[in-house]
């Protein structure tokens, strides 16, 4: 089990480091929330309330 934990820790740290070094621009929280709200609004318009 200790070997599995160490292997996972090594993998996880590599994933975190790769994410930190990723130069691509990310999506802001505001953009995500706007997109989510647009989906909610679209669903409300399509589905009638009972």
What pLDDT is attached to residue 25? 85
Three-state SS string over the chain comes to: CHHHHHHHHHHHHHHHHHHHHCCCCCCCHHHHHHHHHHHHHHHHHHCCCC
Task: Indicate if the alpha-carbon torsion angle 9, 14, 17, 18 is positive or negative.
Answer: negative
What pLDDT is attached to residue 13? 98
pLDDT in tens, 2-48: 999 999 999 999 999 999 999 998 899 999 999 999 999 999 998 76
pLDDT at residue 50 is higher than 70: no
Distance CA 40, CA 26 (A): 23
């Amino acid at each position: 089990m200790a070997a599995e934990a160490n292997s996972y820790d090594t993998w996880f740290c590599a994933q975190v480091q790769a994410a930190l070094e990723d130069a691509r621009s990310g999506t802001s929280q505001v953009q995500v929330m706007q997109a989510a709200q647009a989906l909610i609004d679209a669903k409300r318009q399509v589905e009638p309330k009972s």
